[in-house]
């Protein structure tokens, strides 16, 4: 069955799994709760299973947020994942280094932390990532609106902005981390930055879950900073770039609907 034919069937399916994604310089990763797939701009396709943490951890507040965050990064950091070993170490270093800098305090550690964050963003968003990031959002929106076939053919162009983008999560995590650093009753110690970071990420994920599940429009105000940032982290994708993301969507849906 060709792409358009499969998407026609998927559009008519009673239910479709909720999808997430991640743009890469050379392709797009799509994930469901059980599977992930990476479609490359060179036509390649890789698939795998998502990790399944213990059910108990997925129900415990704060812990479930960290579990979900870990799962979202699994396609990158697994041994058979889509990121090469050198890039995995680079991303891990950029994530952990601010903890070490936090031990010293002072303005220089803040400046160094900002520079490391900029370096991390530049690493993640290099090449065609900005356009493929927009394509990732468009493909997910097409699945949610049941317009997969029309989007594949170029007859529909769902939004390149997404309320579930990791950019939105990052925009929430920054003020939460700053607040936790000021308010948590933790004295200066070697392990203090680790506690602040882990607690902040877990709390941000809980807030993230609440915003995503709430039907009240008032909660959507928390998404505005991230949606604004997406104007910088996405670009309008071409049809061929959208089709790269949609091949990853197709691979995940085929596994889910098999």
Tokens 């070490």, located at residue: 100
Band of residue 16 on the pLDDT scale cut at 50, 70, 90? very high
Rounded Cα–Cα distance for residues 111 and 93 (Å): 17
Higher pLDDT, 237 or 182: 237
Tell me the residue ranges of DSSP E strands in the chain.
20-24, 27-31, 35-40, 45-49
What pLDDT was estimated at residue 111? 58
Q: Which residues in 110-148 are b (16+ Cβ under 10 Å) and which e?
A: eebbeebbeebeeebbeebbbbbbbbbbbbbbbbeeebb
* Largest pairwise CA distance in the chain: 62
Tokens 């979900």, located at residue: 68
Tell me if the pTM is above 0.85.
no
What pLDDT was estimated at residue 29? 94
Band of residue 163 on the pLDDT scale cut at 50, 70, 90? confident
Higher pLDDT, 152 or 205: 152
Are residues 157 and 151 in contact, defined by beta-carbon separation less than 8 angstroms?
yes
What pLDDT was estimated at residue 74? 79
106 has pLDDT over 70: no
For the chain, percent of residues with pLDDT exceeding 90: 38
What pLDDT was estimated at residue 84? 73
| Dihedral Cα 201, 69, 140, 144, nearest 10 deg | -80
List pLDDT tens digits, range 211-229.
Answer: 877 767 777 788 888 888 8
List pLDDT tens digits, range 190-204.
Answer: 456 667 777 877 888
For residue 6, count other CB atoms closer than 10 A to its CB. 17
Q: In sequence order, which residues have a C-beta less than 8 Å from that of residue 14 and are 6 or more positions away?
A: none
Higher pLDDT, 158 or 100: 158
Band of residue 34 on the pLDDT scale cut at 50, 70, 90? very high
For the chain, percent of residues with pLDDT exceeding 70: 78
Work out the end-to-end distance of the chain between its first and last CA atoms, rounded to an integer number of angstroms: 14
What pLDDT was estimated at residue 242? 97
What pLDDT was estimated at residue 193? 64
The mean predicted confidence, pLDDT, of the chain is 81
List pLDDT tens digits, range 133-155.
Answer: 999 999 999 999 999 999 999 99
CA nearest to 250, candidates 79, 24, 83, 21: 21
SS3 at position 29 = strand
Mean pLDDT computed over 70-74: 77
Q: In sequence order, which residues have a C-beta less than 8 Å from that of residue 201 and are 6 or more positions away?
A: 65, 66, 69, 173
Band of residue 109 on the pLDDT scale cut at 50, 70, 90? low
Question: Kindly report the CA angle at 114 between 133 and 75, in degrees rounded to 5?
Answer: 40
Burial of 188 (0-12, 13-18, 19+ CB in 10 A): exposed
Question: Kindly report the CA angle at 20 between 16 and 25, in degrees rounded to 5?
Answer: 135
């Amino acid at each position: 069955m060709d792409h358009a034919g499969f998407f026609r069937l998927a559009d008519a399916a009673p239910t479709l799994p909720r999808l997430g994604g991640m743009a890469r310089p050379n392709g797009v990763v799509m994930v469901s709760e059980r599977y992930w797939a990476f479609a490359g701009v060179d036509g390649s396709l890789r698939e795998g299973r998502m990790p399944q943490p213990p059910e108990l951890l997925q129900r415990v507040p704060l812990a479930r947020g960290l579990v979900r965050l870990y799962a979202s990064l699994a396609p990158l950091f697994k041994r058979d994942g889509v990121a090469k070993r050198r890039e995995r170490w680079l991303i891990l270093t950029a994530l952990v280094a601010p903890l070490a800098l936090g031990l010293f305090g002072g303005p220089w550690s803040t400046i160094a932390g900002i520079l490391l964050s900029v370096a991390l963003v530049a690493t993640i968003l290099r090449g065609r990532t900005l356009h493929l990031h927009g394509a990732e959002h468009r493909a997910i929106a097409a699945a949610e609106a049941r317009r997969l076939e029309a989007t594949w053919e170029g007859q529909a162009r769902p939004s390149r902005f997404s309320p579930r983008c990791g950019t939105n999560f990052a925009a929430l995590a920054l003020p939460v981390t700053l607040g936790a650093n000021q308010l948590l009753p933790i004295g200066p110690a070697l392990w203090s930055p680790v506690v602040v970071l882990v607690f902040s990420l877990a709390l941000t994920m809980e807030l993230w879950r609440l915003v995503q599940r709430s039907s009240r429009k008032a909660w959507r105000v928390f998404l505005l900073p991230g949606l604004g940032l997406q104007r910088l982290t996405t670009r309008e994708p071409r049809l061929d770039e959208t089709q790269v993301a949609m091949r990853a969507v197709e691979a995940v849906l085929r596994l889910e609907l098999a």
